[in-house]
Amino acid sequence: MSKKNPRGTSVRAKNVTSKIPGVLLAGGLARRMGGGDKPMRTIGGRTILDRVIARLGPQCAGLILNANGDPARFSAFGLPVIADGIADFPGPLAGILAALDWAAANRPNVKLVLSAAADCPFLPRDLVSRLYGALEAENAELAVAASDGQSHPVIGLWSVSLREQLRHALVVEDIRKIDRWTARYRLATVTWPVTPLDPFFNANTMDDIAEAERLAALDGG
């Protein structure tokens, strides 16, 4: 049995989560906002991406950014930028695969990678620990977040050992929907409350940006 610290988190879980890198998926083209990079939009004087980094940085063993095109546009954030390894594949599974490949090449001892959408400015501060806790408790292979009765498969923990299976699914089977692929594996789903706000709110439209300004005040800025 794992030892517990005073807050009830197993020592093993704490040690493991401190070694999990995170990938921020920034592949969307923000068509409903007139184009451009959604994470570069500003909320309360800070870019969405800056807010995501502030949330996940303390939870992860380093962050990388998955984005296609000229990586220089993200240079101010100081993160490694990796492109999809599969040409002309627009979906988030390609970004997840790119992150797993990056981990295998650069962090060979890493077993899991966290993924998160780079346009979710209010991500939970306990995201990694709760996902890993469910993965461990349920003997699952993958874990994803949920709220308000809806799964958020872009936000989850992914096993590096499954990267070749994911590559086959993308290249040979042309699978693009995340939940179609995760259905093949033991999946843990972790639900967060939506009060005072849904931590997985994402900014897809200009109206969402206005709503995010209001939510930022509820979130403490």
Predicted confidence (pLDDT) per residue in 158-181, tens digit: 999 999 999 999 999 999 999 999
Tokens 């999946």, residue?
Answer: 187
Give the pLDDT band of residue 190 (cuts 50, 70, 90). Answer: very high
Q: What is the pLDDT of residue 35?
A: 52
Counting other chains too, the contacts that 34-42 makes at CB distance below 8 Å and 24 or more residues apart are 37/67, 37/73, 38/118, 38/119, 38/203, 38/204, 39/118, 39/119, 40/73, 41/119, 41/203, 41/209
Q: Is the pLDDT of residue 155 over 70?
A: yes
Q: What is the pLDDT of residue 83?
A: 94
CA distance 41 to 47: 5
Q: What is the pLDDT of residue 203?
A: 83
Q: Is the pLDDT of residue 220 over 90?
A: no
Percent of the chain with pLDDT over 70: 87
Q: How would you classify the pairing of strands 150-159 and 112-117?
A: antiparallel
Q: Is the dihedral of CA 212, 213, 215, 220 positive or negative?
A: positive
Q: What is the pLDDT of residue 88?
A: 78
Query: What mean pLDDT is reported for the chain?
Result: 89
Q: Is the pLDDT of residue 12 over 80?
A: no
CA distance 218 to 52: 16
Predicted confidence (pLDDT) per residue in 114-148, tens digit: 999 999 999 999 999 999 999 999 999 999 999 99
Give the pLDDT band of residue 14 (cuts 50, 70, 90). Answer: low
Predicted confidence (pLDDT) per residue in 61-114, tens digit: 999 999 998 999 999 999 999 999 998 766 899 999 999 999 999 999 999 999
Q: What are 29's two structure tokens? A: 């083209």
Give the pLDDT band of residue 32 (cuts 50, 70, 90). Answer: very low
